[in-house]
Amino acid sequence: MTGMPHPYPSTPAPPPYAAATRLVALGREPRTPGAQVGAPLVLTSTFHANGADVYAREDNPTWRAFEDTLGALEGGEALVVSSGMAAVTAALSLVPPGGVVVAAPVAYMGTTSLLREQADAGRLTLRLVDPTDLDAVATALSGADQVWLESPTNPLLEVVDLASVCRLAASLGVVTVVDNTFATPLRQRPLDLGADVVLHSATKYLSGHSDVVLGALCTRTDAPGQALRERLAHHRHLLGAIAGPVETWLALRGIRTLAVRLDRAEANATELARRLAGHPQVTRVRYPGFSAMLAIETRGSGADAERVAEATRLWVHATSLGGVESQIERRRRYATEPEEVPETLLRLSVGIEDVEDLWRDLAAALDTLGQ
């Protein structure tokens, strides 16, 4: 069959494509007759000399397939790393020794803990500020090197005016880092809003099946963006927190269905938020109106809320989020979660199950509070 003309071009068709199409079509091999349709899983530590790839701590074709797909989604270029925290560490490496970092007091626990530890060790100065208070942010940014943002925030689900903070930061020469794990690039593209570095725990929505730990960093394609990307790639290469090809391949397989997973999970979350607002044992519902993370506060004590999480039979009582299965967790069960997080706050990662089944299970667990 070799040498036969084939009916379609060997290079991926050019953009523009809608995000849902990019998720499916990018990160694939050229359309050579007889070649595999998916991306190759390349398991090698090294490559024959004189080629484009030299050693697998520096680059890998499986990484590139994932990076091409995620980069196109975020409107920039992506680098895959071993975990969300490896992405956090890489972004933090951009701060000069003794530099000033502005961050929210309540954010992803790992990020906050790392920033505090590094501040305590004298590696940086940390300025904590409410990211929804633009005046306070403006004051804190003066003389800073880097600002860290999440939106929606974890686990309070507050929405930050990313465009305004990015504009302010850019005018002061402050590097903006946005953790886009909760929103995903389908709901928010921080690079378009002026962010310098976007990071992901690809462990969550991008992979989507709670079977992979992986992270990624995205930068813009302009000259400053490329300079940042080079520094981040250098960090990955020399500090060595690289992604496994198997994990990367699994994440690429997972990301193909992100659009349908997120649409379904978001529809479920919207309906559950509405019903939870009317439940007699729920005192507050936090749902930003997009993506599929929500949080509720319940009547009674923290121990009572803990029992709700334990009483569910379908919802999975576990940490983490963004999987196809719905997950529930009381965040203050961790001593490191700050006091701004209410004792009874239950974080819900809504999955793609049938919404009536999810509601029955959750409502029954909440009803135990009244008994």
Ligand X SMILES: *Cc1c(COP(=O)(O)O)cnc(C)c1O
Active site residue ranges:
57, 108, 179, 204
* Stretch touching ligand X by CB under 6 A, among 42-50, 197-205, 232-240, 278-286: 197-205
Closest residue to ligand X, based on beta-carbon distance: 84
| 315 neighbors 358 (Cβ within 8 angstroms) | yes
Considering only the stretches 28-36, 80-88, 89-97, 245-253, report the one whose residues sit in contact with ligand X under the rule CB under 6 A: 80-88
> One-letter amino acid identity for 164?
S
- Minimum gap (Å) between residue 64 Cβ and ligand X: 20
Distance between CA 177 and CA 17 in Å, rounded? 27
Interaction between residue 203 and ligand X (CB under 6 A):
yes
Torsion angle of alpha carbons 338, 292, 229, 110, nearest 10°?
A: 20
State yes or no: residue 312 binds ligand X (CB under 6 A): no
**What does DSSP say about strands 146-150 and 124-128: parallel, antiparallel, or unpaired?**
unpaired
C-beta of residue 78 within 8 angstroms of C-beta of residue 67: yes
In 3-state terms, what secondary structure has residue 84?
Answer: helix
Query: In the complex with ligand X, which residue's Cβ is closer, 153 or 281?
Result: 153
Candidates 215, 245, 254, 351; binder of ligand X (CB under 6 A) is 215
Give the nearest distance from C-beta 78 to ligand X in angstroms: 15
Which tokens go with 353?
Answer: 């199950």
Is the separation of the CB atoms in 78 and 71 below 8 Å?
Answer: yes
Within 13 Å of residue 53, how many CA atoms lie on the same side as its CB? 16
Q: CB–CB of 293/305 below 8 Å?
A: no
Nearer to ligand X, 104 or 213 (CB): 213
Give how many residues touch ligand X by CB under 6 A: 15
**Which residue, 331, 79, 44, 64, is CA-closest to 202?**
79
With CB under 6 A as the contact rule, the residue among 59, 179, 266, 306 that binds ligand X is 179
Q: Which of residues 98-157 bind ligand X (CB under 6 A)?
A: 108, 110, 150, 154
* Rg over CA atoms, the chain: 22
**263 in Cβ contact with 273 (< 8 Å):** no
Contact between 84 and ligand X by CB under 6 A: the answer reads yes
| Residue in the block written with tokens 């299965």 | 325
Among 101, 115, 144, 213, binds ligand X (CB under 6 A): 213
Q: Look at residue 258 and give its three-state secondary structure.
A: helix
Q: To the nearest whole angstrom, how small is the minimum distance from the Cβ of residue 52 to ligand X?
A: 29
Output 290 or 365, the one with its CB closest to ligand X: 290
Tokens representing 295?
């949080």
User: Does 229 engage in binding with ligand X (CB under 6 A)?
Assistant: no
How far apart CA 40 and CA 57 sit, in angstroms, is: 17
First vs last Cα of the chain: how many Å apart?
72
Task: Return the range that interacts with ligand X (CB under 6 A); candidates 62-70, 119-127, 199-207, 342-350.
Answer: 199-207
Q: Which of 89, 181, 298, 349 binds ligand X (CB under 6 A)?
A: 181
| Interface with ligand X, residue 292, by CB under 6 A | no
Q: Closest separation between CB of residue 70 and ligand X, Å?
A: 14
Q: How far is the CB of 203 from ligand X (least distance, A)?
A: 4
Q: Given the rule CB under 6 A, which of 32-40, 174-182, 287-295, 327-335 is the region that contacts ligand X?
A: 174-182
By CB under 6 A, residue 210 contacts ligand X = no
> If DSSP codes are grouped into helix, strand and coil, which group holds residue 124?
strand
Residues of the shown chain interacting with ligand X in the complex, contacts defined by CB under 6 A: 83-85, 108, 110, 150, 154, 179, 181-182, 201, 203-204, 213, 215
